[in-house]
Amino acid sequence: MANLATDFIGIRSPNPFWLASAPPTDKEYNVTRAFRAGWGGVVWKTLGFDPHIVNVNGPRYGAVWGADRRLLGLNNIELITDRPLEVNLREIKKVKRDWPDRAVVVSLMVPCDEASWKTILPMVEETGADGVELNFGCPHGMSERGMGSAVGQVPEYIEMVTRWCKAHTRMPVIVKLTPNITDIRHPARAAHAGGADAVSLINTVSSITSVDLDLMAPEPTIDGKGTHGGYCGPAVKPIALNMVAEIARDPETAGLPISGIGGVTTWRDAAEFLALGAGNVQVCTAAMTYGFGIIKELTAGLSLWMDEKGYGAVSDVVGRAVPNVTDWQHLNLNYVTKARIDQDLCIKCGRCYAACEDTSHQAISMTEDRVFDVIDAECVACNLCVNVCPVEGCITMERLPTGAVDERTGQTVSAEHGDWKTHPNNPMAAAAE
Amino acid sequence: MTSPLTPGITAGRLAPEVIAENFSDLHPDLDPHEAMVAADRCYFCHDAPCVTACPTEIDIPLFIRQIQAGQPEAAARTIFDQNILGGMCARVCPTETLCEGACVREIAEGKPVEIGRLQRHATDRLMARNSHPYARAAATGKRVAVVGAGPAGMACAHRLAMHGHDVVVYEARPKPGGLNEYGIAAYKTPSDFAQDEVEWLLGIGGIEIRHGQALGREITLEALRAEHDAVFLGMGLAGVNALHTEGETREGVRDAVDFIAELRQSSDLSKLPIGRRVVVIGGGMTAVDAAVQSRLLGAEEIHMVYRRGRERMSASEHELTHAATEGVRIVTNAQPVAIHGNGAAREVEFEYTEDGPDGLRPLGETFRLPADQVFKAIGQRLEGAPEGLVIEHGKIAVTGAGRTGLDGVWAGGDCTGGGEDLTVTAVAQGRDAAEDINAHLMG
């Protein structure tokens, strides 16, 4: 049986599933329920100085749904905790005392001056919490006041604040990054340079989920107006995976621990984050959608998969896919595939045909009795037919063996690796030795 | 107080509220969320097989996508563009043999997209707006006579009116709708939908319906031709085939179509008499409708007997399964020999048959089924067709879009050959004839 226990920058937890800093971790009551359900740790909802902030009194969430109201994406305009600092600190202390085997990390957001951080860090330390997470990610509300993503978008500030925090606490420091930047490696490098023990990402993506076409206002709408929120949930997972991988494979941040966040909904999502270099994952939207009970599927699922694959510990999985994340220029252009349609599985809907004929390479033929076939001489192996086919496994990509002739190009498939760097069409190509 | 066990033919075998429940909507409307989920299952197939399978060629993937996009009224418009009686067709079409039978998900999973119910979801919403979605073209000054206010006639009349022609519909019965009003099982079209639909359809304007006008009785084709620029015949099949069996005239023996029409026109079904033991002779939709509705009225025992094998029955498998679920016993390969009784029918005697390459062969062995009431549902036939029309296989022969051999005379629906005798087929024929008439008049 796989061992799910993790040691993330010295913080131990019985499994790699932490609840992210968000409404589920705002109170002792919720966190206790989460730990009872089996969550490995929490990042307490972001603390700030008193007087505590206030939230809007109208709706604070917007959503994107699938047809059966399956929640695909959620956005929020909620701010950091709206409870007094002292209340949160007291509850954190009690929870950590009651649940010593669980990770309790405290998210923080105070103004961008050293005194503020120097003031709050000892207060957190006193609770016995396992670490702090610097909220440099929140893209709405707090950013207007010079905090949250307003810091996370300026690498120099990240480095500066991280340095202060490392100087004023013995606790491990995790820096939470905003995805609302152009190149995630720069804020990660800054955190690293400032001495961060780890980065966590992604925070939410700036978003407007929908527009009320009667009110002519973005949703959620507050008295006829709306503001951008932070987007999260399954819809943002691909963005998060890429950013995690970018940091994991960046030589400048190599080895910097990563806490993966962004749309983790099932064990598989978690496994993917781990494979791309995350040492653990943080979950929020899935818990907010389904409740804390999903932890049973997450842990059982990850454990079962690890058993099947022979991974004894979470650390065996971490970063396993990172060596296979590369730049486009290194992709093997001599890897030639063609779409193949399994006629026994085909239900003759013709979506592959419409997609290819209208929007791709006219590489699928259709007969009068609705038999769809791939025209190898046209197929560029784009994979669109695979992606639009409603039947899983019906259309697959089959590699042409070495020595076969690609009917589209007339060229013989080479066994050698050949990429853009050496391609004759590349004006910068290095002559092959 | 009567019960299913009361002998003879009597009303009120079930409590009025039970009868009312039995005759309530068979497939209630989808609510908006259910419609969204059902619509999401559509794959928007390329050159979709469901469209090909629809006699009126409704662009089904398009209308379902319009439901997905939150505009059922736009979806309805897509439906009505092809089939102005899309509301009724959504209720009565044998979708399992048409669009849903062709759905790729039926073939893949045995669970098609619920096209019929989605169509009803869309059409009900547009019709509930109580405004007619189509406008007439400028008046052409042409007058067209339509004989029969059934699906073929009304579809034809609507399309002609749209093109700016003035239409007079001559209808023999006191109400319009044809078989939609008089011939379809009540639970498929409750709440007077057939009348509401005709009224809504007439919202286009330019259509006058004259009732009590039967061809060969009050009106003649000759006179219609003289007074109109074109004539469309859509009078259906008024005649009923006879059994030619001993005892056919006994009390308790009647045509199923008459029973169904009486049932449809009855304002209080708890007052409609039904036999304790009912035998329905026939294997089509009329037979099924008579048998099932007998059961819903409280008949204790119903046999539906067909002379050939089940595969030869014209009722769809879906309908037969429904009948069986309601408790109708389906007997095949048996033909009636005699209806016995003393004045009133008491038993029907059948002889087993075998359907071979040389036709139906009686096997000599007989059996008897108890029957207080016997419904004959062995088909209808054309009656009193005007002179000059070519009749083939008992129906008016047409070519192309309903052209008869007579100049300026078109025909469609059940009175013509070609196509199945379905509402949707009649609509398609009426519509296409109207287009042909329009081209002819304006050409």
pLDDT at A430: 67
pTM of the predicted structure, to 2 decimals = 0.90
**Min Cα–Cα distance to chain A from B326, Å:** 33
The pLDDT tens digits of the residues spanning A94-107 come to 999 999 999 999 99
Q: Which residues of A touch B104 (CB under 8 A)?
A: 347-349
Question: Å from B112 to nearest chain A CA?
Answer: 12
Separation of CA A139 from chain center? 16
Specify the CATH architecture of the domain B9-23+240-376: 3-Layer(bba) Sandwich (3.50)
Low-confidence residues of chain B: pLDDT under 50: none
Measured distance CA(B383)–CA(B261) in Å, rounded:
18
Q: Give the chain B residue whose CA is nearest to the CA of A391.
A: B108
Q: Structure tokens of A163?
A: 């340095």
pLDDT digit string (tens) for B94-146?
A: 999 999 999 999 989 999 999 999 999 999 999 999 889 999 999 999 999 99
Q: Which chain A positions have a beta carbon within 8 Å of B44's beta carbon? A: 351
Nearest-Cα distance to chain B for A391, in Å, is 9
* pLDDT over 80 (residue A55): yes
Cα separation, B439 vs B339, whole angstroms: 53
> What's the mean pLDDT in A50-76?
94
Domains B32-127 and B143-238+382-442 share a fold: no
Strands B9-10 and B274-275 turn out to be antiparallel
For an interface test with B, give the residue of A213, A214, A347, A360 to mutate (most B CBs within 10 A).
Answer: A347
For the domain spanning B32-127, the CATH number is 1.10.1060.10
Cα–Cα distance measured from residue A368 to residue B190, given in angstroms and rounded to the nearest whole number: 41
- Whether the CB of A72 is below 8 Å from some CB of chain B: the reply is no
Residue A432 predicted with pLDDT over 70: no
Residues of A in contact with B33 (CB under 8 A): 69
CA distance A87 to A95: 12
Nearest to A349 among B33, B40, B104 (CB): B104
> B48: nearest CA in chain A?
A349
Say how many CA atoms lie within 13 Å of B141 toward its Cβ: 1
Q: Touching check for A66 and chain B: CB below 8 Å?
A: yes
Alpha carbons B27 and A223: distance in angstroms, whole number: 42
Identify the pLDDT of residue B66: 97
CB contact under 8 A, A347 and B49: no
CA distances from B72 to B67, B69, B198 (A): 5, 8, 21
Q: Which residues of B touch A348 (CB under 8 A)?
A: 45, 49, 104, 107
**What's the start-to-end Cα distance of chain B, in Å?**
66
Count Cβ atoms below 10 Å from residue B363 Cβ, excluding itself: 11
Mapped onto helix, strand or coil, the DSSP state of residue A385 is: helix
Residue A188 to residue A198: CA distance in whole angstroms: 9
The per-residue pLDDT of chain A, averaged, comes to 96
Q: Which H or E element spans position B321?
A: helix B317-325
Domain borders along chain B are 9-23+240-376, 32-127, 143-238+382-442
CB of A405 within 8 Å of a chain B CB? The answer is: no
In angstroms, the CA A12 to CA A100 distance is: 10
CA distance B91 to B264: 16
Over residues B21-69, the pLDDT tens digits come to: 999 887 788 999 999 999 999 999 999 999 999 999 999 999 999 999 9
Shortest distance, CA B50 to any CA of chain A (angstroms): 10
Catalytic residue numbers of A?
138
Per-residue pLDDT band for A431 (boundaries 50, 70, 90) equals: low
Write the pLDDT tens digit of every residue in A224-249: 999 999 999 999 999 999 999 999 99
Query: How does pLDDT run across A315-344, given as a tens digit for each residue?
Result: 999 999 999 999 999 999 999 999 999 999
Tokens at A193, concatenated? 């340079």
Each residue's pLDDT tens digit, A268-325: 999 999 999 999 999 999 999 999 999 999 999 999 999 999 999 999 999 999 999 9
Instruction: Map tokens 């065996």 to a residue.
Output: A316
Q: Tokens for B152, please give them.
A: 């073929």
CATH 3.50.50.60 fits B143-238+382-442, yes or no: yes
ipTM for the predicted complex comes to 0.86
Q: Which secondary structure element, helix H or strand E, spans residue A344, and what is its range? A: none
**Residue type for B69, please?**
A
All residues of chain A having their beta carbon less than 8 Å from the beta carbon of residue B45 are 348-351
CA–CA distance, B165 with B353 (Å, rounded to integer): 53
**Taking a contact as any Cβ pair under 8 Å apart, which residues of chain B between 53 and 72 contact chain A?**
68
Q: Tokens 């409708």 label which residue?
A: B289
Supply A291's token pair: 């409740």
Phi first, then psi, for residue B152 (nearest 5°) are -65, -50
By Cβ distance, the residue of B37, B47, B107 closest to A350 is B47
